[in-house]
Structure 1
Amino acid sequence: MTPDQLTAPPLAAAPTGRGARTRRTPSPRLRLALAAALALAVVAGFLLADTHGYAEFVVPLRLRRLAALVVVGWAVALSTVLFQTVTGNRILTPALMGFDALYVLLQTVVVFAFSSQLLRDLDPRLQFVAETLLMLAFALTLFRWLFASGRYPLHVLILVGMVFATLFRSIASFLQRLIDPSEFQTLQNLMFASFTTVDEDLVWITAAVVAVATLVVVRRLHVFDVLALGAETATNLGVDHRRETTKVLALVAVLVSVSTALVGPITFFGLLVAHLAYQLAGTHRHAVVLPMAGLSAVVCLVGGQFVLERLLEVTTTLSVVIELVGGLTFIALLIHRARRNLA
């Protein structure tokens, strides 16, 4: 028996007889089906609402933004759940490794060294490839140096990643103070994720990368379930924990890099949808949690964009609202964990 079972109060006897009622919880498959139905309904509403009889013209224009929302949401959801699996901590996100901070630093250096006009004139495909490769190079070098070599445990990798993230933000903040105010206004728009000015070709390139990563994830779902049990247990079950964790971190780096290079940084969104997935899945199996996280991300992003544009009719950037809600979720999780540790 576990310590929780030893200290738990005795369960009340279940009522018996003809008048007894058995409380049944929905099965994981039913939960996934309901989440998929909700996601489809939200997507349909986003595409077809307020077309005013011009659906043949309006729907194709909305498809590009819908594709960006779905691809980025799915990538962020998968990367966050996988990162929490290998770290064993549900309040951590890949953003702690400095991806978002490095993206902002790259944009700041370009504007500081040249001008914001260069960012506007630069081929978006070249910019996308350069940003993705730089973030991947940083992440993979860090993983190989600190973890794959076997010299340091995983928590050292996370701490060093947090130090680099703080360093990148400090350098970016210093350079931003030296930039002309008009240039800084242009740069400020790049600090938040934007789904309105996404290049269509880049969306499909990102979708292809995310699709390949998803296929890899599907083939290794059983391995992720074992990794979630911890290093010692996974090793006893015949899984090379360090090697498999390195593969997962590389997969996370790919997903986060392409999604960040496509639309910009989304710091707390992954934490929000991962927490929703754990609550809604009804199980810890990755075969249910991962698709539930992806569907939750689609509902939050597409539904949030639909509410802002169609119902509230405001021009507020969706990522600002996401960061607010995600930040509040992060604080709530910290308070909940502190209370549980004190109990």
Structure 2
Amino acid sequence: MAERRLFALLGLLALLSALFLGWELREPAGFILSLRAVKLASLLVVGAAIGAATVMFQTVAANRLLTPGIVGFDALFVFLQTGLVLLLGGAGFATLPDLAKFGAELLCMLLAGVALFGVMLRRGAEDVLRLVLTGVILGVFLRGLSGFAGRLLDPSEYSIVQLASFATFGAVDSTQLAIAAAVLVVALTGARLLAPALDAAALGRTTARAIGLPFDRIALLALVIVSACVAASTALVGPITFLGLLAASLAHTVLRTWRHALLIPGAAIISASILVAGQFVFERLLGQQSTLAVIVECVGGLLFLFLVLRKSRP
């Protein structure tokens, strides 16, 4: 039954993708179609990366209220943008090679995630709660540094930081997209191989170790995959914190299964569908260009509050 629902979700995503590509297609059709294809691919890559990463992160953390963004990836991205503008100035930041900037951001966030997870879990995966709290504190610290640095910038340079700090799908470079897609393929392949172990890990550390699962090693591998997915999506378009929470919650609700072999691709498909559908509505029907990320964050934030309040009921 869950497999049928997964295929139905995949069919829905294919339909949404066809609508996104073909809606009111005019001449020069080939040129317009190529632009739309790049944007569609970026929506699919970012959505799949965030959705899959969130399911894995929630399993390791044993908490469905968390997202990978809570450990400070978005704050690190904003800090990198602010630091570059502060050091190079607005003109220097604008003349940075896009591919070099993307590669540096991807590498910094990937290394930061691996370092955080590796150091915090060196004594065992019972430190997951401490890891999350440390990530939250680091995120607050980096946001504070970014805010302080922003006060040293003139208004025109600060506007550059603001523009670079919000997720946008309007001008995605095809080379950067190819790199992010390659990272995603490798990460999802690893997630697929880890799926049976994650099924056992979802039982809890004590139970999983009692049945012979090397929980600490599985948790670290899963978090490395999470780091790769979030780093690739954030470096490509910018941070989208609550999209994963929305997708993971819908995946659990729609698929009604504990099998990560279905939950991970299900969350990836749902997350990509949300982005494609949202971009189609705002761009094709409403004529808007930069509203999608704000709306997704708003809906995801409301869902987070709802889940927290529901959990807090006696």
Specify the TM-score bucket, using the shorter chain as the normaliser. over 0.9
- Per the alignment, residue 275 of structure 2 pairs with 301
The TM-score normalised by the length of structure 2 is 0.97
1:150 Cα deviation after fit: 3.6
CA distance in 1, matches of 2:289, 2:52: 29
1:283 is the counterpart of 2:261: no
SS in 1 for 2:121: helix
Match of 2:248 among 253, 257, 274: 274
- Aligned-partner residue type, residue 154 of structure 2: D
Q: CA RMSD in A?
A: 1.3
CA distance in 2, matches of 1:158, 1:315: 34
4+ aligned runs moved over 3 Å, structure 1: 149-152
More deviation in 49-58 or 320-329? 49-58
State how 1:183-332 maps to structure 2 within 5 Å: 183-332=157-306
Give the % identical residues.
Answer: 40
1:148 Cα deviation after fit: 2.4
1:290 Cα deviation after fit: 1.2
CA distance in 2, matches of 1:206, 1:142: 22
| Per-residue Cα deviation, 1:18-59 (whole angstroms, up to 9, x for no partner) | xxxxxxxxx112111211111000000000001135432321
Is residue 206–residue 258 contact of structure 1 (8 Å, CA) maintained in 2? yes
| Unaligned stretches of 5+ residues in structure 2 | none
1:144 Cα deviation after fit: 2.0
Aligned residues: 314
- Per the alignment, residue 108 of structure 1 pairs with 82
More deviation in 279-288 or 75-84? 279-288
1:317 Cα deviation after fit: 3.0
- Per the alignment, residue 151 of structure 2 pairs with 177
| Unaligned stretches of 5+ residues in structure 1 | 1-26
| Per-residue Cα deviation, 1:108-143 (whole angstroms, up to 9, x for no partner) | 011122212222211111111111111122222222
- Aligned-partner residue type, residue 100 of structure 2: L
- Aligned-partner residue type, residue 284 of structure 1: W
State how 1:14-163 maps to structure 2 within 5 Å: 27-52=1-26, 54-150=28-124, 153-163=127-137
User: Which has the larger Rg?
Assistant: 1
| Per-residue Cα deviation, 1:142-200 (whole angstroms, up to 9, x for no partner) | 22222124497211111111110110001101111221011111111112111111111
- Aligned-partner residue type, residue 153 of structure 2: I
Structure with more helix by fraction: 2
